[in-house]
Each structure stands twice: as structure tokens, then as C-alpha cells.
């Protein structure tokens, strides 16, 4: 699945068969990224789209040495479920 980063609108997006998934974020402070919202079209739900978006966002944070906040409840749960992999990124 192809995920695109749009820094101008602060989101990661993907489109599959005309249906969209997105992970929105904000940059509340230097060195910090806050994942604020995840949305996946109903047609794509249950196919791992949100997880792929989460991994793309967290990889971006890691590559850019950003501390992560998870205002989005999906992202908070994802990080908690994968705590060993992402614990060092948390703000």
C-alpha cells in the first residue's frame, strides 16, 4: 500500500480502490509530533489500513527524532499494543 506524507496539510494518506485513509497530526512544539486523528473509509476497515498509516507516521517521527504524543485514541491504543517497539518515541 502506498502511503503519502503531506507536510503542508499535516497528514499521511492512502487511497485504495477510490477509498481513503488518513492519519492527521500537529506539531505543538519543536521536536514533538501529536497524532490527532485517524480515519479509514468504511470499505477499507479491517484490512490493516489504519495500522499501516500508524507505522508510517511513527517511522517518520523516528527518522526525524521527534517525540510522540497520541491525542488520537486509535494511535494511543496502537502505541500501547506495540509498546516495546515505540516506547522510546513517547513524549
**CATH code assigned to 26-89:** 3.40.630.30
Q: How confident is the model over 20-68, as pLDDT tens digits?
A: 999 999 999 999 999 999 999 999 999 999 999 999 999 999 999 999 9
Q: What 8-state DSSP symbol labels residue 72? A: S
**pTM (predicted TM-score):** 0.93
Amino acid at each position: 500500500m502506498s502511503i503519502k506524507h503531506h507536510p503542508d496539510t499535516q497528514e499521511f494518506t492512502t487511497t485504495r480502490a477510490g477509498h481513503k485513509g488518513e492519519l492527521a497530526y500537529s506539531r505543538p512544539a519543536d521536536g514533538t509530533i501529536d497524532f490527532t486523528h485517524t480515519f479509514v473509509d468504511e470499505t477499507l476497515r479491517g484490512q490493516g489500513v489504519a495500522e499501516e498509516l500508524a507505522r508510517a507516521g511513527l517511522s517518520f517521527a523516528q527518522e526525524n527524532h521527534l517525540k510522540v504524543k497520541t491525542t488520537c485514541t486509535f494511535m494511543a491504543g496502537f502505541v500501547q499494543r506495540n509498546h516495546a517497539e515505540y516506547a522510546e518515541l513517547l513524549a
